[in-house]
Amino acid sequence: MLSILVIEAIYLISPFSVAYCFFHLGLSPVRSTDRTGPDRLIRSGLSTEPENRFGSRFLTQNRPLIVPTPPPPPPTAARSAATPPTHDQYDINIDQKTAWVQAGATLGELYYKIWKKSKVHAFPAGVCTTLGVGGHFSGGGYGTMLRKYGLSIDNVVDAKIVDAKGRVLDRKGMGEDVFWAIRGGGGASFGVILAYKINLVPVPPLVTVFNVPKTLEENATDLVYRWQHIADKLDNNLFTRAVLQPIPGKKTGELTAGASFIALFLGDSNNLVSIMNENFPELGLKKEDCKEITWIKSVLFLAYFPDGTPETALLDRNLASPSAFKMKSDYVKTPFPKDALQGLMDTVAKSGTIQVMFNAYGGKMKEIPESETAFPHRAGNIYKIQYLFNWNEAGPAVEKQNIDAMRNLYSYMTPYVSKNPREAFLNYRDIDIGSSDNGPNAYDQAKVYGVKYFKNNFDRLVKVKTEFDPENFFQNEQSIPPSKQFNNRGR
């Protein structure tokens, strides 16, 4: 008798206490009072994306999803030389510089487990420590070491997936096309990701970080303008980002805008100051602005934990207070004009809560071809933009006002970002850019958002989907559809 696992659909409002910790969220937007309508939360398949900072997974429908419990694989089933962990969520081998990590683990837990085994190894992934590994990796996995080591998926060497037939497959069993697809194409279109095998990367015993805030009176706009021209050309060991956000003005109750320049450098402070002063002297970085700390402490620093927070905080899965939010993304290939940046700063100040984060590209990212993985946003990008608008008030009127404000900002940015297509990052799920009802016109509907997320990789993803899941068992509002034109065979 076939046993089944019934997983009730869940609907979470993602909380946060520090807004930056939505660096890699894949949710857009939160609907605090309504589960229907065009702005409903995208809820992906069982395991894989969109990611959230709690390691939870969002289901596609407001109904139970029934998945066959996989039977024990036969002796001839394809298996990896190294099997993923069965009792612990991590199997870290420092000698081989590899690890198996289960999809339900959080990034903070992964970082902590690596650190307990080695103080000079790490893994390139996001800054939000309560992100679930499953969604984070399958959508790309963007973090502060991408200019040195690429994305998380560029360091994934094997995986375990449950397909629509209930089979547990490793890289050999699923085939290279599916393995390609689940690295950046979103695992929830193809199956249930159980675990990943990753390559660990070396880090020095001490790294250097800084966070230098600037106000408009301190030429924040001019500094952001200048940063655009050097961010993707700096030393590959250096990642920088510029965060535009509302800050208190001189008068009580007044808001203005400021910019914070944040960095991780895989080296010492003397070298960092030298690099910055050679390439970005306008910032005026001094050694006293920098902190030399261990890599694991840099994780805490970049996640905005207070100084002195112990490493064990990375194991904390407790939720912060609830908040609703809307998120969007863009890619920038040509520096913004200064007047456009000034208009952006004015919008940020007036919003009261919108934050705009410019995250530098270049380095390793421009060396990897667009077709190497399903994630296509590589060479040619100066930086990626993350837009975040959060609010605590309840009610449809407030929700509409805030979502409209975000959409207006997105519209304002249109002339200054990528075009044909206007690219978007899968893990910052945005239902505004298109959705599918998974009906007869699913391919045409999906192509609208698919080319924005995946560019020229979209049709290859459709072909993989058609061969691996021809009945479209795994689906959501922005999943990859099967297409009859590619359906020469089913698996």
Q: Are 100 and 91 in contact (CB under 8 A)?
A: yes
The percentage of the chain sitting over the pLDDT mark of 90, rounded to a whole number, equals 76
Q: Confidence class of residue 478 from pLDDT cuts 50, 70 and 90?
A: very high
Name the token pair of 278: 């050679």
Which of these is catalytic: 20, 428, 443, 449?
Answer: 428
Please state which of the ranges 94-108, 393-407, 462-476 shows the lowest mean pLDDT: 393-407
Q: How far is residue 283's CA from residue 223's CA, in Å, rounded to a whole number?
A: 7
Mean pLDDT of 68-96: 56
The set of residues, in sequence order, having a beta carbon less than 8 Å from that of 478 and lying 6+ positions away, is 42, 429, 431, 434, 435, 436, 446, 449, 453
Do β-strands 192-199 and 156-162 pair in parallel, antiparallel, or remain unpaired? antiparallel
Mean pLDDT of 405-430: 97
The pLDDT tens digits of the residues spanning 282-310 come to 999 999 999 999 999 999 999 999 999 99
The pLDDT tens digits of the residues spanning 234-271 come to 999 999 999 999 999 988 889 999 999 999 999 999 99
User: How does the average pLDDT of the chain come out, rounded?
Assistant: 84
DSSP assigned state of 37: S
Q: Are 407 and 354 in contact (CB under 8 A)?
A: no
The pLDDT tens digits of the residues spanning 51-73 come to 333 222 222 332 223 333 334 44
- Predicted local distance difference test score (pLDDT) of residue 318: 80
Q: Confidence class of residue 486 from pLDDT cuts 50, 70 and 90?
A: low
- Predicted local distance difference test score (pLDDT) of residue 56: 27
Q: Is 428 a catalytic residue?
A: yes
CA 37 to chain centre: 25
- Predicted local distance difference test score (pLDDT) of residue 395: 92
Task: Report the CATH number of the 207-416 domain.
Answer: 3.40.462.20
Q: Are 198 and 155 in contact (CB under 8 A)?
A: yes
- Predicted local distance difference test score (pLDDT) of residue 394: 87
Domain boundaries, the chain: 207-416
Q: Are 453 and 435 in contact (CB under 8 A)?
A: no
- Predicted local distance difference test score (pLDDT) of residue 62: 27
Give φ, ψ of 265 to 5 degrees.
-125, 125
Mean pLDDT of 124-150: 96
Burial class (CB in 10 A: 0-12, 13-18, 19+), 199: middle
Mean pLDDT of 130-157: 97
- Whether the pTM exceeds 0.75: the reply is yes
The pLDDT tens digits of the residues spanning 346-386 come to 999 999 899 999 999 999 999 999 999 999 999 999 999 99
Amino acid at 290: C
pLDDT value at 32 more than 60: no
Q: How far is residue 240's CA from residue 234's CA, in Å, rounded to a whole number?
A: 9
Q: How far is residue 116's CA from residue 114's CA, in Å, rounded to a whole number?
A: 5
Query: How far, in Å, are 29, 32, 60, 347, 400 from residue 393 at the CA level?
Result: 15, 10, 26, 20, 12
